[in-house]
Amino acid sequence: MASLISCPHCGPRPREEFSVRGAALTRPAPEASRAEGFAYVYLRDNPRGLLDEWWRHGSGCGRWLVVTRNTLTHEVVAVRDVGA
């Protein structure tokens, strides 16, 4: 894991300021089928390579971010605000 993550609001900040939620998945609509709901909660692609994740800059701006990271090398490729 990189020691610094470039927050779009705060600039490069230590990794310890952030917490990770996991894969950035899109929540199915309320009327979605049971199978879709199950897949959202439990199933993961778990790629060996690039992965979009939810991270929160808890000790900084407090914003939720989408961090694109390489799970094989730990390189952070891109960081954007969840609303961007």
Where on the chain is the footprint of another protein (CB under 8 A)?
A: 1, 3, 15-16, 20, 22-23, 38-39, 41-46, 48, 51, 53, 69, 71-74
The token pair at 24 is 């950035």
Task: For the CB of residue 5, give the shortest distance to another protein in the complex, in Å.
Answer: 11
First to last CA, the chain: 24
Task: For the CB of residue 33, give the shortest distance to another protein in the complex, in Å.
Answer: 12
Q: If you search the block for the tokens 């992965």, which residue do you land on?
A: 51
Task: For the CB of residue 83, give the shortest distance to another protein in the complex, in Å.
Answer: 22
| Calculated CA dihedral for residues 52, 58, 62, 63, nearest 10 degrees | 0
